């Protein structure tokens, strides 16, 4: 019985944390913010979570966990491949809607200062234009209209940046090799 009480409180804290970290990122979120949002005293949070960092990790993991739960259900369902892929996409985006603030929060600084969006769009558009000539006909990307092509390129570049954002210097070289071969395989003609 007492346990249930505790779990409720723990959950309240976690939800408040997820939303606060999501809105403001790790460093801009104060323990007091979370305390106020969850209606629990600052000191009491430490009964449930060792420190701010643990609370942050727990927040992110909680979201991943939620995602895994649904992902597993879908993957192991009896639906057809096509349906399962559709399901994953659909549910993936549903989760993303929830997870969205947290993902944004993780990049709070970069986003606040609008460091990426414009540059990514500009670079994608510029590269996309290369394919606007007849000689490019045999490149895979020419099967898309101009706008889709730029959008797809933006996805690639974003993916590359994100990937490398979590690569250690030590592994940088290898990762570049991998990525390069992925690019040849996909964006260059056979």
72-91: which residues touch DNA (CB under 7 A)? none
Q: Choose the binding region for DNA from 23-31, 74-82, 111-119, 164-172 (rule: CB under 7 A).
A: 23-31
What is the C-alpha to C-alpha distance for residues 190 and 109, in angstroms, rounded to an integer? 41
Binding segment toward DNA, per CB under 7 A, in 28-36, 111-119, 137-145, 178-186: 28-36
Rounded least distance, CB 112 to DNA, Å: 14
Q: What is the dihedral of CA 81, 71, 174, 154, to 10 degrees?
A: 80
Among its own copies, DNA, none, what binds residue 51 when CB lies within 5 to 8 Å by partner kind? DNA
DSSP letter for each residue of the chain: -HHHHHHHHHHHHHHHHHHHHHHHHHHH--HHHHHHHHTS-HHHHHHHSSSHHHHHHHHHHHHHHHHHHHHHHHHTSSS-HHHHHHHHHHHHHHHHHHHHHHHHHHTHHHHHTT-SHHHHHHHHHHHHHTT-SGGGGGSGGGGS-HHHHHHHHHHHHHHHHHHHHT--HHHHHHHHHHHHHHHHHHHS--
Closer residue to DNA (CB): 5 or 165 = 5
Least distance to DNA from the beta carbon of 21, Å? 10
Q: How many angstroms separate the CA atoms of 161 and 45, rounded?
A: 35
Residue 113 within binding range of DNA, rule CB under 7 A = no
Q: Which of 48, 63, 108, 124 binds DNA (CB under 7 A)?
A: 48
Which one of its own copies, DNA, none interacts with residue 1, CB within 5 to 8 A by kind? Answer: DNA
Among DNA, its own copies, none, residue 129 binds (CB under 5-8 Å by kind): its own copies
Question: Using CB distances below 5 to 8 A depending on partner kind, what does residue 69 bind out of DNA, its own copies, none?
Answer: none
Q: From 41-49, 80-88, 137-145, 167-175, give the range in contact with DNA by CB under 7 A.
A: 41-49
Smallest separation, CB 2 to DNA (Å): 2
What's the closest the beta carbon of residue 11 comes to its own copies, in angstroms? 20
């Amino acid at each position: 019985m007492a346990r249930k009480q505790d779990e409720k409180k723990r959950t309240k804290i976690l939800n408040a944390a997820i939303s606060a970290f999501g809105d403001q990122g790790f460093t801009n979120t104060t323990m007091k913010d979370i305390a106020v949002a969850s209606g629990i005293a600052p000191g009491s949070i430490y009964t449930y979570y060792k420190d701010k960092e643990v609370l942050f990790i727990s927040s992110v993991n909680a979201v991943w966990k939620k995602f895994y739960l649904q992902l597993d259900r879908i993957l192991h369902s009896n639906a057809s491949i096509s349906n399962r892929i559709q399901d994953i996409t659909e549910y993936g985006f549903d989760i993303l809607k929830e997870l969205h603030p947290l993902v944004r929060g993780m990049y709070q600084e970069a986003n606040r200062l609008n460091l990426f969006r414009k540059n990514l769009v500009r670079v994608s558009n510029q590269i996309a234009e290369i394919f606007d000539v007849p000689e490019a006909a045999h490149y895979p990307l020419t099967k898309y209209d101009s706008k889709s092509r730029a959008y797809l390129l933006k996805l690639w570049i974003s993916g590359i940046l994100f990937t490398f954002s979590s690569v250690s210097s030590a592994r940088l070289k290898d990762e570049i090799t991998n990525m390069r071969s992925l690019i040849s395989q996909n964006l260059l003609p056979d």
